[in-house]
């Protein structure tokens, strides 16, 4: 068998090495139009920020190493320009010599990846404007940073890569402004979950322009200037576009392969295209969302690598199926970690899937052990059977462990009742006797069992009677206007002071003390609903204005 693989990064190289392990006799050729294969693309921002100091550390494998260890014919700077399905040939251009040649195949795997979205802005072709996709892009940005010590960078787009770039460019001593067309950064999140990120970015000195897209890139007195929709002009030394990616489908289109409704290459569960001898993997393909069952695009290295392995299995005669994607991701934003998995609330609402949500704010590990950080966890689950549908977490510590547990729960189709019982490792430096995962399960299961009525922070209106059961000091530090204050420890003695005759929204800092208060009140004949996530969550929906120095 002769196998051609087009694309030599995550999906392509995973397919190539897996195919070799399964078939020692196969003739395997990998074409990569860039200079490098197996390049650690996710590490690019961290080299720019000098967290990763040696460029060579990003070269996971060289063509020479792949040839000697896996007997792969890896051809860098060789671009496949066309596929002739009838003749089963690929047309290849050697970019160093400009020579064009044909290469035959029995099976072919497409792994062309995705390309950065370049918005149609006036001036977007200015040499000071960059995207970040490969090592050459990284080197150009690195040179621009070197040439502008203490200067200013403007990032257009608050995506994962945009936030990573903000962190790393500031680590290099640049001033950073970030402009995002949406009212919040990190589009996979729900808006309120981005609010702690906004606060943190501003505290770190990032100039944040939300709901304010770039309108043009101009030159004023020789310097680049990004002009925003509201007329704000941001003079700078370099601009980085981080507004998303689109699947590379030109080869597939010109070869007559089917394209899905999302714009990605259409494949079946075995990652086979509409041509039985051609498979496709990675950022270029349309995949199925594991939670919603809907077609989607997912430009992430993890799924691409697993898809490469599965495609190789099928090419070599093993019938292996790809389950789909759920979009599990995590990003470092200065001192915060931000992660998500599964469906967001806005997706569930759009698809009219029955769901409920809870917010919890537990400590990342035992509170008496130094370094515990408050976590913000949003858990989404089915109202029909309690199945976990999605989660989002923002915190300074403990995020990766919890999002991976919840990602696994989604894969296993576990319920919030399972989360109550899941047994996780505990020692004071790492967790608590009731892990944050258990806590989220307790709150969600209490809700489904109707152990308490609930009201969400975004449902509190001006006519809602709010009972705040925090301490006097907490109440004085900020509260909902017109809230009635009775500390939970005084509640039994002050029942006569509780407003009667109307439903109460009972609130504390995070939802636990208000839950206790609700249990007291409902058994005393009051109609009381617990504000899930408490005042901490209310602040996410109603952020306090920031001062010029970044303080509330």
Report pLDDT digits (tens) over 3-60.
999 999 999 999 999 999 999 999 999 999 998 888 888 999 999 999 999 888 888 7
pLDDT for 552 beyond 70: no
What confidence tier does 547 reach under pLDDT thresholds 50, 70, 90? very low
Residue 500: predicted pLDDT: 83
Three-state SS at 115: strand
Q: Which of 133-137, 151-155, 409-413 has the lowest mean pLDDT?
A: 133-137
What confidence tier does 62 reach under pLDDT thresholds 50, 70, 90? confident
Residue 68: count of CB within 10 angstroms of its CB: 10
Residue 213: predicted pLDDT: 95
Of the candidates 338, 435, 353, 444, the one whose C-alpha atom is nearest the C-alpha of residue 392 is 338
Compute the CA torsion angle 485, 488, 493, 494 (nearest 10 deg): 20
Write down the residue that tokens 């270029």 correspond to.
284
Beta strand spans in 195-310 (E): 207-209, 214-220, 223-228, 233-235, 238-241, 245-247, 265-266, 278-280, 285-288, 295-296
Convert the pLDDT of each residue in 216-261 to its tens digit: 999 999 999 999 999 999 999 999 999 999 999 999 999 999 999 9
Convert the pLDDT of each residue in 109-128 to its tens digit: 999 999 999 999 999 999 99
- Cα 404 to Cα 330: distance, rounded to the nearest angstrom: 10
| Segment 201-223 mean pLDDT | 96
What confidence tier does 184 reach under pLDDT thresholds 50, 70, 90? very high
pLDDT for 401 beyond 90: yes
pLDDT for 491 beyond 90: yes
- The model's pTM: 0.94
What confidence tier does 545 reach under pLDDT thresholds 50, 70, 90? low
- Cα 304 to Cα 314: distance, rounded to the nearest angstrom: 15
- Cα 489 to Cα 501: distance, rounded to the nearest angstrom: 23
Three-state secondary structure readout of 354-381: CCEEEEECCECCCCCCCCCCECEEEEEE
pLDDT for 355 beyond 80: yes
Residue 549: predicted pLDDT: 36
Residue 134: count of CB within 10 angstroms of its CB: 17
Of the candidates 492, 85, 473, 454, the one whose C-alpha atom is nearest the C-alpha of residue 273 is 85
Write down the residue that tokens 């402009």 correspond to.
179
Contact between 19 and 315 under an 8 Å Cβ cutoff? The reply is yes
- Token representation of residue 229: 């929709």
Q: Which of 134-138, 262-266, 535-539, 542-546 has the lowest mean pLDDT?
A: 542-546
- Cα 42 to Cα 358: distance, rounded to the nearest angstrom: 32
- Cα 72 to Cα 52: distance, rounded to the nearest angstrom: 29
Contact between 366 and 305 under an 8 Å Cβ cutoff? The reply is no
Tell me the pLDDT of the chain averaged across its residues: 95
- First-to-last C-alpha distance (Å) of the chain: 65
Residues with Cβ within 8 Å of 360's Cβ and at least 6 positions away in sequence, in order, are 375, 377, 379, 436, 439, 440, 443, 510, 511, 533
| Segment 496-502 mean pLDDT | 88
Give catalytic residue positions.
42
- Cα 22 to Cα 26: distance, rounded to the nearest angstrom: 9
């Amino acid at each position: 068998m002769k196998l051609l693989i087009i694309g030599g990064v995550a999906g392509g190289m995973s397919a190539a090495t897996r195919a070799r392990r399964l078939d020692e006799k196969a003739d395997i050729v990998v074409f990569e139009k860039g200079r490098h294969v197996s390049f650690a693309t996710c590490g690019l921002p961290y080299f720019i920020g000098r967290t990763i100091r040696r460029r060579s550390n990003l070269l996971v494998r060289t063509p020479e190493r792949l040839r000697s260890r896996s007997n792969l014919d890896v051809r860098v700077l060789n671009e496949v320009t066309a596929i002739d399905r009838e003749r089963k040939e690929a047309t290849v251009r050697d970019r160093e010599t400009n020579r064009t040649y044909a290469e035959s195949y029995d099976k072919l795997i497409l792994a062309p990846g995705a390309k950065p979205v370049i918005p149609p802005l006036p001036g977007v072709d200015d040499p000071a404007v960059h995207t970040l996709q490969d090592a050459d892009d990284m080197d150009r940005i690195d040179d621009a940073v070197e040439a502008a010590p203490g200067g200013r960078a403007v990032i257009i787009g608050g995506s994962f890569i945009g936030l990573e770039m903000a962190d790393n460019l500031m680590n290099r001593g640049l001033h950073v402004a970030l402009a995002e067309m949406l009212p919040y950064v990190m589009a996979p999140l729900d808006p309120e979950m981005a609010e702690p990120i906004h606060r943190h970015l501003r505290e770190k000195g990032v100039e944040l322009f939300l709901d304010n897209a770039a309108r043009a890139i101009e030159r004023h007195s020789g310097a680049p200037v990004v002009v925003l929709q509201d007329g704000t002009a941001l003079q700078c030394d370099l601009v980085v576009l981080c507004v998303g990616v689109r699947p590379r489908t030109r080869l597939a289109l010109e070869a007559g392969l089917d394209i899905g409704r999302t714009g990605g290459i259409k494949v079946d569960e075995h990652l086979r295209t509409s041509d039985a001898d051609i498979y496709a993997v990675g950022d270029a393909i349309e995949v199925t969302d594991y939670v919603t069952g809907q077609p989607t695009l997912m430009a992430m290295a993890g799924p691409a690598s697993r898809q490469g392995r599965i495609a190789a299995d099928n090419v070599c005669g093993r019938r292996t199926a790809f389950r789909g994607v759920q979009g599990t991701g995590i990003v470092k934003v200065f001192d915060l970690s931000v992660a998500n998995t599964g469906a967001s609330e806005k997706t569930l609402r759009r698809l009219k899937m029955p769901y409920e949500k809870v917010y919890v704010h537990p400590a990342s590990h035992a509170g008496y052990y130094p370094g515990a950080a408050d976590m913000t966890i949003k858990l989404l689950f089915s109202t029909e059977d309690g199945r976990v549908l999605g989660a989002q977490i923002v915190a300074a510590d403990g995020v990766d462990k919890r999002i991976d547990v919840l990602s696994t729960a989604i894969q296993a189709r576990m319920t919030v009742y399972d989360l109550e019982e899941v047994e996780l490792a505990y020692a004071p430096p790492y967790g608590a006797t009731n892990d944050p995962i258990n806590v989220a399960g307790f709150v969600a299961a209490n809700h489904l069992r109707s152990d308490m009525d609930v009201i969400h922070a975004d449902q509190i209106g001006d006519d809602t009677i709010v009972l705040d059961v925090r301490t006097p000091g907490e109440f004085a530090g900020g509260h909902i206007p017109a809230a009635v204050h009775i500390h939970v420890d005084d509640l039994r003695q002050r029942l006569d002071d509780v407003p009667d005759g109307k439903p109460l929204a009972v609130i504390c800092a995070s939802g636990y003390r208000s839950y206790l208060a609700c249990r007291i009140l409902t058994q005393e004949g009051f109609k009381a609903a617990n504000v899930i996530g408490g005042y901490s969550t209310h602040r996410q929906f109603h952020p306090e204005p920031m001062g010029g120095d970044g303080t509330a």
